Amino acid sequence: MVSDTFTGSGLKQKAVHEFWVFIGISLYLAFFFCAVVTNRTILQRDFHDAYLNYGIALINAFVVAKAILIGEYAHLGKKHEAKPLLLSSVYKPFLFSLLVFGFHIVEEVIKQVIHGRDLAGAFRDTRIDDLLSRGLIIFCTFVPFFAFRELQRVLGEDSFLNLFFRKGAITDSRLAAKCRSNGEPAEYTSYRA
């Protein structure tokens, strides 16, 4: 999805597009990760490390965004793209959550090794309950994200962006034209595929 839209385009244009896709994914993830930090900060009434926690959430958003792009480059979940959109929109979050879970395990082990543990001790001291709770948050964050990514893949990037950011785009879309050709009233055009 990321690099398929550029046939014959220059390398610079491709790099700029990839940068903005990365920024968009990072902003989406940062919104959710910062919300989790805010929730934890308020519940624990621990406000003295708030800036550090928000900084870590932003860094994690960048790392997870890069993991998503790596997964897309590796064609993770491509075999289910021909199946119904609902299946693809649930399968990809599961697959990418496993990928990010693997990245978090490596991250935790590296942190333990840096703090003087040997490799076996680092694996033993890794808190699996913390990693599983992070994995659940990632999965819940990925479900709407990949649902919209799959919708963008099906509609095309231009149609998708017009649908969400241009006034009157629903009546101008291919979806509305298809429904009009079926003789359905205009108020149903936004509900049918």
Q: Please tell me the predicted confidence (pLDDT) of residue 165.
A: 79
* Mean pLDDT of all residues belonging to the chain: 79
| Share of residues in the chain with pLDDT > 90 (%) | 13
Q: Please tell me the predicted confidence (pLDDT) of residue 29.
A: 92
Tell me, yes or no, if the pTM score tops 0.85.
no
Of 16-25, 66-75, 103-112, least confident by mean pLDDT is: 103-112
188 burial via Cβ count (<10 Å: 0-12, 13-18, 19+): exposed
C-alpha dihedral sign at 13, 72, 91, 60: negative
144-178 pLDDT, tens digit each: 999 998 888 888 888 888 887 777 666 655 555 55
- Using pLDDT thresholds of 50, 70 and 90, give the confidence band for residue 10: confident
Of 15-24, 57-66, 85-94, 98-107, least confident by mean pLDDT is: 98-107
Residues 6+ apart with CB under 8 A from 184: 192
Q: Please tell me the predicted confidence (pLDDT) of residue 102.
A: 83
